[in-house]
Chain A
Amino acid sequence: MQELTSIPEQELLYQGMYSCPGCMAALAMRLVLKAMGPNTILALTTGCWAVIDGPFPYTSSKVPFLHGAFGTAASMGRGLRASLDVQGKEDVQVLAWGGDGATFDIGMTALSAAAAYNEDILYVCYDNEAYMNTGGQKSTATLPGVRTTTTTQAGLAGVRKKNIVEIMAAHDIPFAASASAGYPHDLVKKVQQAKALKGFKFIHVHTPCPTGWRYPPDEGPRIARLAVQARIHPLYHVRHGQQYVIDLDPEPISVEEYFQTQRSRLKPLSAEEMAWIQENVDQRWQTIVARSRNTEA
């Protein structure tokens, strides 16, 4: 049984933001900022959140919020860290924020460099599994078998989703984790854990998207939780690239069961394709389980 983390009451987002109804990325930001606290500067790269914040001169953020070019969240985070440190403001936290396109794709080299230099920042990737801000084109975070506006036909069912937590953990950073907007306590706890550590921290937050995935806006938390149950998005963290801990292991369901909740974004998959996807998910899960057992031992 997981210890219940209390979620700070202080809201660091204003109401009236420009998200779609039921946006899980907006919820993720709300929770992450609560955990970060007000002594934070946020560097944000292009993506849904560039819009959600609201148009100039409005903003939904109560902490300093720097909008930047696509794929630059990690580099901006490095710049903020250096600037704050040279001015003696080591106490100010730097939060870099990017979507899956900005993180898995266009910002990958910048993210890798920031991790390799172990910059003292927290990078949060909110993952809605495609370029949702531009209308839902495929990214390398898109699940196999998912229909996007650039994969309208079958044929990419065999392309895996990039394993971003493992990529980041392989940089031996102090903290690499997955989290979900469907599990607020786990997410807040992870941000608080990350915040307490010096060096580069990475959290991959799963944020299902009602608009892009075409499910009713009130279904988000349920779908997010099913993704964890299906082990499409297992919740775990890795310290220093070595110590694996599974944070939550809810009762498992099959990938097929999970996919049934969002049939409109899925291509009709053959039995072989479905089996291949399930096999991949199982393999990744077994790897995490084995590594977490090694950590315990």
Chain B
Amino acid sequence: MEQIIMNGNSAAAYGALLSRVQVTAAYPISPQTGIVEALADLVASGQLEAKFIMSESEHSVMASLIAASEAGARVFTATSSQGLALMHELLHWAAGARLPIVMVNVNRAMSAPWTMFCDQSDIVAQRDTGWLHVYCEENQETLDAIIQGYKVAEQIMLPVLINMDGFYNSYTTEPVSVHDIKDVDRYLPPYEPPVKLDPKEPHTLHGGTGPHLFMEMRYQMWQAMEHALDIAREADDEFGRMFGCSYGLTEAYRCKDADLVLVSSGSLVGTLREVVDVYRDRGDRIGLLKIRYLRPFPTEEVRQALTSARQVAVIDRNVSVGMGGGFWQEVRSALYGSEVGNKPVLGFLAGIGGRDVTPESVDKIIQTARSNPPQEVPIWVELKV
């Protein structure tokens, strides 16, 4: 194991390298370009024995990876925002085809107006495509999530989207442990698909399917996604045993006796962690729930973490216009009708379009939460209008 100072994009490339991906296709988009460049270089220099397809669009990226995966290779790519949206059709296809593709999405707001800065509206809009969705707080987690991603994907045969926040993660350098590839090999054996395209044993895949079978196929995806909860927990535990670092599907930080629990994901969690410590030092009982898996949604862990809270404040760096933040909807839905559901769940919208969410912003969120604001509508944080 070697510790290297690197940004999130490099960590993602190392994750792919250590996972011994065999085919990668990519199209550049800020702030993901560092991943594409690093992979192209790793392949060209022979450090990664893989084929690199330079695609002319993200739509083609995913089409190529679908076919490469169908022919039996472990495949990887990375994208962001508009590129992810251009892939949308094929995200459904990859999941419906039950392919263990792993993709990193560097979160960036969706235009218009034209922008390249961070928010998670790009990925939250892709919740229903049948992929597993993982959100990373820092660069080590991104590297590890890719390796874990293949471990999970290849058992349940569904694709995995690993998210890091644009700029906050992609271009922020941190020390990252690069595991010994031989250890990773023991954790992640070579990909052995149950069915693949091979002239020696011909199969026709994904032909027209009518109402008599389609629904059952979706139900099988549902079952795989449910199963993914246990598989992801096991994969994370095993990773922890082998590499000394595990993350959980959620992380409850100082939640036990908290009366207000802040809930969020991605790089924002780092800031919240600091703020919670400050409040705790003053004896103020604030807790933090980091949601790492959005799909499958870890309902059990979320309910458990929010048991003692009298109030929950979900902070979303994304917005579904006309409804509110995606995580807010998910948490409310997870608590509804349960024993721990009888408490206000407030929805805060912050950092949309890449505006910094500072410790002072979080102070304001906490103060607002404690003023018992309306629960039915989202609260826009530090709005200038």
By a beta-carbon cutoff of 8 Å, the part of chain A in contact with chain B is 38-41, 43, 50-51, 53-56, 58-59, 61-69, 71-72, 74-80, 82-87, 92, 109-110, 112-113, 117
Q: Tell me if B23 and A109 are in contact (CB < 8 A).
A: no
- The answer to whether A55 touches B55 (Cβ under 8 A) is no
> Contact between A56 and B198 (Cβ–Cβ < 8 Å)?
no
Indicate if B199 sits at the interface (CB-CB under 8 A). Answer: yes
Beta-carbon contact of A68 and B56 below 8 Å: no
With contact pairs A65-B205, A83-B22 given, residues A39 and B199 touching in the complex (Cβ less than 8 Å): yes
Q: Are B23 and A79 in contact (CB under 8 A)?
A: yes
A50: nearest residue on chain B (CB-CB)? B208
**Which chain B residues border A64 with CB–CB below 8 Å?**
197-199, 202-205
Please, how many angstroms separate the alpha-carbon atoms of A246 and B213 in the complex?
49
Q: Inside 8 A of B334's CB, which chain A residues have their CB?
A: none
Contact with A along B19-56 (1 / 0, CB 8 A): 00011010000000000000000000000011101111
Interface pairs A-B: 5 shortest CB-CB: A79-B67, A79-B64, A59-B204, A82-B51, A72-B63
Give the chain A neighbours of B23 by CB distance below 8 A: 79, 82-83, 86
Chain B hits for A40, CB < 8 A: 199
**B56–A41 CB distance below 8 A:** no
Q: How far is the CB of A195 from chain B (nearest CB, A)?
A: 14
Query: Which one of B68-76, B116-124, B309-317, B320-328 is at the A interface?
Result: B68-76
Q: Tell whether B65 is near chain A: CB-to-CB under 8 Å.
A: yes
Are B208 and A83 in contact, with the CB atoms below 8 A? no
A43: B residues at CB distance < 8 A: 67
B residues within 8 Å of A by Cβ? 22-23, 25, 49-51, 53-57, 59-61, 63-73, 75, 89-90, 93, 197-199, 202-210, 213
Listed A/B pairs (27) with beta-carbon separation below 8 Å: A39-B199, A55-B208, A56-B206, A61-B202, A63-B199, A64-B199, A65-B207, A66-B67, A67-B208, A68-B63, A71-B59, A76-B66, A78-B64, A79-B53, A79-B66, A79-B71, A80-B68, A82-B25, A82-B64, A83-B70, A83-B73, A85-B51, A86-B50, A87-B71, A109-B56, A112-B56, A117-B53
Residue A77 contacts which of B67, B69, B90, B210 (CB distance < 8 angstroms)?
B67
Closest CB of chain B to A92's CB: distance in Å? 6
Q: Are A79 and B25 in contact (CB under 8 A)?
A: yes
Complex contacts, A87 vs chain B, CB 8 Å: 22, 71-73
Q: Hey, which chain A residues are within 8 Å of B197, CB to CB?
A: 41, 64, 66, 80
On whether A53 and B204 interact (CB within 8 A), knowing A39-B199, A69-B90, the answer reads: yes
A38 to B25, CA, bound (A): 28
Separation of A40 and B206 alpha carbons in the complex (Å): 18
Contact partner of B207 (CB less than 8 A), chosen from A38, A53, A85, is A53
Q: B209 and A79: CB pair below 8 A?
A: no
Determine whether the beta carbon of B53 is less than 8 Å from that of A78: yes
Residue from A71, A78, A82, A117 whose CB has the most chain B CB atoms within 10 Å: A82
Closest chain A CB from B344 CB (angstroms):
44
A79 touches B63 (CB 8 A): yes
A53 to B208, CA, bound (A): 9
Q: How far is the CA of A50 from the CA of B205 in the complex (A)?
A: 11
Q: Are B72 and A68 in contact (CB under 8 A)?
A: no
Tell me the complex Cα distance, A85–B72, Å.
Answer: 11
Docked complex Cα distance between A72 and B89 (Å): 11
Question: With a CB–CB cut-off of 8 A, which chain A residues contact B64?
Answer: 75-76, 78-79, 82
> Are A83 and B67 also in contact (CB < 8 A) when A64-B197, A110-B60 are?
yes
Contacting pair B53 A82 (CB below 8 A): yes
Tell me if A84 and B71 are in contact (CB < 8 A): yes
Provide the bound-state CA to CA distance between A89 and B213, in Å.
34
Point out the residues of chain B lying under 8 angstroms from A79, CB to CB: 23, 25, 53, 63-71, 75
Known: A66-B67, A69-B90, A79-B65. A61 touches B57 (CB 8 A): no
* Cβ distance B128 to chain A, nearest Cβ, rounded Å: 17
In the assembly, what is the distance between CA of A24 and CA of B64, in Å?
A: 29
Query: Chain B's nearest CB lies how many Å from the CB of A200?
Result: 14
Given A86-B50, A110-B60, 7 other A-B residues pairs in contact with their CB atoms under 8 A: A55-B209, A59-B207, A68-B93, A75-B63, A83-B51, A83-B70, A86-B23
Residue in A closest to B208 when the chains form the complex, CB atoms: A55
Please report the C-alpha to C-alpha distance between residue A63 and residue B205 in the assembled complex, in whole angstroms.
Answer: 11
A112 CB contacts on chain B under 8 angstroms: 56
A79 to B60, CA, bound (A): 9
Q: List chain A residues, Cβ under 8 A from B205.
A: 64-67
CA distance A85 to B71 in the complex (A): 10
B209 closest partner in A (C-beta): A56
Name the residue on A nearest B27 (C-beta): A113
Specify which chain B residues have a CB less than 8 angstroms from the CB of A68 in the assembled complex: 63, 66-67, 93, 206
Rounded to whole angstroms, the CA-CA distance of A83 and B22 in the bound complex is 7
Residues of A within 8 A of B65 (CB): 79
- Nearest B-chain residue to A70, judged by Cβ: B89
With A and B bound together, what is the CA distance between A38 and B202 in angstroms? Answer: 9
| A110 and B25 form a contact (CB under 8 A) | no
Q: Which of B25, B56, B89, B198 contacts A69 (CB 8 A)?
A: B89
Q: Which residues of B contact A71 (CB under 8 A)?
A: 59
Beta-carbon contact of A113 and B210 below 8 Å: no
Closest Cβ–Cβ distance, residue A233 to chain B (whole Å): 28
B72 touches which of A50, A67, A83 (Cβ 8 Å): A83
Instruction: Provide the bound-state CA to CA distance between A63 and B198, in Å.
Output: 8
Give the complex CA separation of A167 and B49 in angstroms. Answer: 34
Cβ–Cβ < 8 Å partners of B204 in chain A: 53, 59, 61, 64-67
